[in-house]
Amino acid sequence: MRFLIRLLPENEPFRIPFSHQHHLQGLIYRSIGRINPDLSLSLHSPKVPKLFTYSLFMAERRELAEDRSGLLSHGHGFFYFSTAVPEIAEAFIGGLLQRPEVELWDERFTAETVKALYEPEKLSGRKFVTLSPVAVTTRRVQFGRPKSYDLSPAEPEFYELMRENLREKYMHLHGARPPEEFEMKVLSAKPKRFEVKPGIFQTAWHLVFRAKGDEGLLRAGYLAGFGEKNSIGFGMVKVDGRRQRVKKSWRGGGKDRKGKEA
């Protein structure tokens, strides 16, 4: 299940800091907690696959701030949310519409519309573009101690761990032995460094890639995110060149209505 959330800013221009995923993560957990506190609590467990992801926060028009601390933006703000678990979608969207006035990094917004999006029937062989960069990490010994190491698409282990991550998601979703069939060819890659917590940084990759393989594996990545750390805003993709069609739309505090082309 995938959604487009459009937010009306209280002031213009408004600022978007470069490292902002933890603010969106907080909004998602607070919204889920209003509707389903037990689900919110279970998602905080470090051992539970979260099976949701979201894009970076975007705007209709934006420019680099003079102090280079972020982007000055105009028009609506928006982001995409995706999950393979309907219960998570229902709690997040329900909680957000219940309290559409939100504050993010000292900026105030109103969640004006939420749009459920159609999903492509076939994913194998398609070209994908990241809406939030892909993170893949491993442990390597540095100066005599094992430390977290951020892999790049130039390293074979990047692809091995991508496949194993998809297989883990598949197994959790379907309770069955996951298939092996997954191939990924990166067409372009650009690194980006984020501060995910104070003093803790993650290098992740904006990618354009083509993927082939088992449809179940690919759909697990399409809905729950490719790579790691999806619940803190990494690994959401879209199908390149595909127009986003709206299944259904809700207005904050308003009635349901059928959607049109996004």
Tell me, yes or no, if 29 is annotated catalytic. Answer: yes
DSSP structure class, residue 177: P
Strand partners, 248: 116, 258
What span, in angstroms and rounded, lies between the C-alpha atoms of 226 and 132?
Answer: 10
Q: Which position among 20, 22, 44, 74 bears the catalytic label? A: 44
Residues in the chain: 262
Tell me, yes or no, if 44 is annotated catalytic. Answer: yes
Q: Which position among 22, 29, 149, 206 bears the catalytic label? A: 29
Structure tokens at 5: 């959330």
Structure tokens at 110: 């109103």
Rg (CA), the chain: 18
Task: Bin 4: left if φ > 0, else alpha if -120 < ψ < 50, else beta.
Answer: beta
What span, in angstroms and rounded, lies between the C-alpha atoms of 179 and 124?
Answer: 14
| Active-site residue set | 29, 44
